[in-house]
Structure 1
Amino acid sequence: MTSPKTLLRTWNLRPRQQLGQNFLSDPSTAQMIVNRAELSPEDTVVEIGAGLGALTIPTGQVVRQVYALETDGHLIDLLRTELATHNITNAEVIKQDVLRFDFETFARERGITDRLVVMSNLPYNISSQVLVQLVKSRHIVSRAIIMFQKELARRLVAEPGNRDYSRLTVMLRYCSEIRTLATVRASMFYPKPKVDSEILEVRFRERPEHPVADEEFFFKVIKGAFGQRRKTLRNALSGSELQVSPDLARQSLEAADIDPVRRAETLTVPEFIALTEQLALIREA
């Protein structure tokens, strides 16, 4: 693996800060990620932000097919050249912004019937959006192996009552199991980011343990509760896009056996489900 710095200089390119580009520069780290991801020859992988191919190459050596998404058009020819140099013939490079990518449509058009595996070293500025997108696409995505900045990774595995506990934590706990695979030091990237990263595996359940009747509304309730997280749940919900009055918010919380003066970060997933059910009853009344 040629160093990212050398590759970029050879092609007269520079990392683009606005795209959050930090390229993995250690091939042993890339191989470690692929090994711990426990990929198989039957897997079809969608890689988000393939960059210079640090993960694409070892992934392609294991799985059936890799679809390497890359939004930076300046890197496309370089990436294809690197894949050809390493004799990776089962990777297709696609110029694509993942935030405009429809996993279901893509799988249908390509005739893919098995659920996809997603891999990525996600830029911090789109990590939350991509996670929400994956949660909503989980019927076609079985799991995701993603490298996050340590700060976000800690939020995703936080427990209720911890100040890192967030909207994303609740959404993921509802429909997946999360485990930490490894920590990657900042020195393993070019350019070097300010913080270390952690690799998480998000394994989506085929069916949530306690499925809600209206998932879209459930996610809106979670968003509303965390929208003003310093406020009590009663005030946060009444000030959200749910458009419920303070009295109705209080009634729903009490009906769900939740103290209205609690805050969003203290609620478990079952409590959010109970709250959603009570708010739905009020909405339908």
Structure 2
Amino acid sequence: MTTQSLPRPRAASRRRPGKGPTVRRGSPASRVLRALIILVLLCMVLYPLVWMVGNSLKSPTEILSNTGLLPKHWTWRNYHDGWFGLPSITFGRFFLNSLIIACGVVLANMASCVVTAYAFARLRFPLRGFWFAVMIGTLLLPNHVMIIPQYILFRHLDWINTPLPLIVPKVLATEAFFVFLMVQFMRGIPRDLDEAARIDGCSPYGVFRHVILPLVRPALVSTAIFSFIWTWNDFFTQLIYLNDLPKKTVPVGLRMFMDATGQTSTGPMFAMAVVSLLPVFFFFVAFQRMLVEGINTAGLKG
């Protein structure tokens, strides 16, 4: 029998081992439909922002008459009047006050919540489960219920009309949401890393410093972003504790464009509202990559 009469072996399959058959991509019609749906949702989300920016470039009379997004006559005077329009103070003072308070809250939350979360997630101490349940229970308490006893306490400490009531409580890990977030993140870190560090001679502080802290960076970034945004946009708490005009913040300063008679400087108010969004936008853009990495890392755990 010649070699030519032997049956030829079948060609090896080009599929990779362990991989199923390739899935065809969607048809062009489905991709177009998906793009249209995303575009419609994007327009719905951006419409209020575009409307606010457009009104900041309209004259006061055109704001009431022109309901369109774009102004017929562009004017930039609203930004000048909003920045320098308040008596004896510029809007930049409010920006500085908000920046000091927001940065202080961010640092306090990051430092206190990560230490508290490490104790709940990694250390053994009596009644750990009970105290963790009490901490989670504080999430059910509205802030408006605690504002009166807190105000009385801070008045006895002579902290009213200072940034201290807004920053100092955060040092005590009062934000249970961020503690819970970090506890859940730390529970996804293998305990074998802790045991290996202890074998190398690390104390509990050394394990926290050299093992846990570098791995919880995504959770720390999420805490920083949400702390900054929530503090920057906070109105009620800052209105309660800050009384003097030079100590007020951006959300309270925006309210001052409406006087006691109900008359509102609409154009300057819209202009300063647009300017007040810039720090939040730049803060989010600066840490967006780390936040996305943290979400991806959390999704790969387990």
Please state which band the TM-score falls in when normalised by the shorter chain. under 0.3
The two structures have a TM-score, normalised by structure 2, of 0.20
By percentage of residues, which structure has more helix? Answer: 2
The two structures have a TM-score, normalised by structure 1, of 0.20
